[in-house]
Amino acid sequence: MKKNSPIGVFDSGVGGSSIWQEIHKLLPLEHTIYLADSKNAPYGNKTAEEITKLSIKNTEKLVQMGAKIIIVACNTATTNAIVTLRKNYDIPIIGIEPAIKPAALQSTTKSIGILATKGTLSSALFSKTTQEFTKDINVVEIIGEGLVPLIEVGNLDGPEMNSLLEKYTNPMIAANIDYLVLGCSHYPYLIPQLKAILPTNVKIIDSGEAVARQTKTVLQSLNMLREEITTPNLQFFTNAETETLKFLLKEYSEKISVEKKDF
Ligand code: DGL
């Protein structure tokens, strides 16, 4: 693997592009390849075996395309499959998990909310983290059923989205949360809508920046950061339609390529 090889990123669909943005901000010279497995989204209601199979397929493709590191930009895939991925591949693999720990440590109301997929909330890895860090904290766990399919088609703030968000945040508001943890990489695209619904004292946190910092730390420690300073290739591939990715990443439209591809 060469320093000049790309960083490989995958998600069940378009959501991991929120993580890609953090990675690109911190490591603007790195080549990147992003795979959106939108054909198989959402992963959230699939079994751990299905999620693992799809995660292996995506990782395999990124390895074939020459990735020097894999970023699993999906909480559902990380919490269900990262142990297997790390066993099967000897390149560095970084995952994303809900930011339960910082929320629990900083909460003053001792009540936090977490919005994530069924697959994440029911995973062994998530239960372990929650048990470890939230002993004296009330955790309101809500499955964001239906949110990912709407985001996949670019419907971020229609009436259907807003009524789902109200329904999911109501029990959190009733429980006096002061932190809302976004446990799905699609959800950062809902932050403005959530802010409009939540009381102003509620802080919203996600793990995108932490994943970007970890990516930099790992590449630095392996002496694998890119050294060339020419413009990087920023490639996005989806196995469904390209519209939503282009829409979510419109501020990067001059720099990126978005293509449909079977994988
Ligand atoms: N972006 C995924 C996550 O972070 C997606 C969920 C899904 O496909 O259900 O969990």
Domain boundaries in the chain?
Answer: 7-96+208-260, 100-205
Query: Which contacts (CB < 8 Å, 24+ apart) does range 3-6 have?
Result: 3/68, 3/223, 3/224, 3/225, 3/226, 3/227, 4/31, 4/226, 4/227, 4/228, 5/31, 5/66, 5/67, 5/68, 6/30, 6/31, 6/32, 6/33, 6/65, 6/66, 6/67, 6/68, 6/233, 6/235
Our measurement of the distance from residue 79's CA atom to the centroid of its chain's CA atoms, rounded to an integer in Å, reads 11
Could you tell me how far CA 238 lies from the centroid of its own chain? 16
Q: Which residues line ligand 1 (CB under 6 A)?
A: 11-13, 15-16, 41-44, 74-76, 117, 120, 148, 184-186
Report in angstroms the alpha-carbon separations of 243 from 146, 150, 221: 20, 13, 37
How many Å is the maximal CA-CA distance in the chain?
Answer: 53
User: Which of 169, 197, 193, 192 shows the shortest CA–CA distance to 181?
Assistant: 169
Are the C-beta atoms of residues 75 and 96 closer than 8 Å to each other? yes
Architecture of domain 100-205: 3-Layer(aba) Sandwich (3.40)
Catalytic, out of 184, 198, 211, 249:
184
Active-site option among 74, 114, 147, 194: 74
- 11, 55, 190: residue to mutate for ligand 1 pocket, most atoms within 8 A of CB: 11
Rounded to the nearest angstrom, the distance between the alpha carbon of 243 and the centre of ligand 1 is 19
Centre of ligand 1 to C-alpha 11, Å, is: 7
Left, alpha or beta for 5 (phi > 0: left; psi -120 to 50: alpha)? Answer: beta
Ligand 1 mutation target, pool 39, 71, 74, 238, most atoms within 8 A of CB: 74
Annotation marks residue 74 as catalytic? yes
Q: Sheet harboring 203-205: ordered strands across?
A: 138-143, 111-116, 179-183, 203-205
**Which residue(s) pair with 256 in the sheet?**
234
Per-residue pLDDT of the chain (263 residues; tens, 9 = 90+): 689 999 999 999 999 999 999 999 999 999 999 999 999 999 999 999 999 999 999 999 999 999 999 999 999 999 999 999 999 999 999 999 999 999 999 999 999 999 999 999 999 999 999 999 999 999 999 999 999 999 999 999 999 999 999 999 999 999 999 999 999 999 999 999 999 999 999 999 999 999 999 999 999 999 999 999 999 999 999 999 999 999 999 999 999 999 999 99
Instruction: Assign domain 7-96+208-260 one CATH number from 1.25.40.20, 3.40.50.1860, 3.50.50.60, 3.10.580.10.
Output: 3.40.50.1860
Same fold flag, 7-96+208-260 and 100-205: yes
- Measured in Å, how far apart are the chain's first and last C-alpha atoms? 22
Q: Is-above-0.85 flag for pTM?
A: yes
Query: Which of 143, 165, 161 lies closest to 153 in space, CA to CA?
Result: 161
Active site residue 10: no
pLDDT at residue 1, rounded to an integer: 63
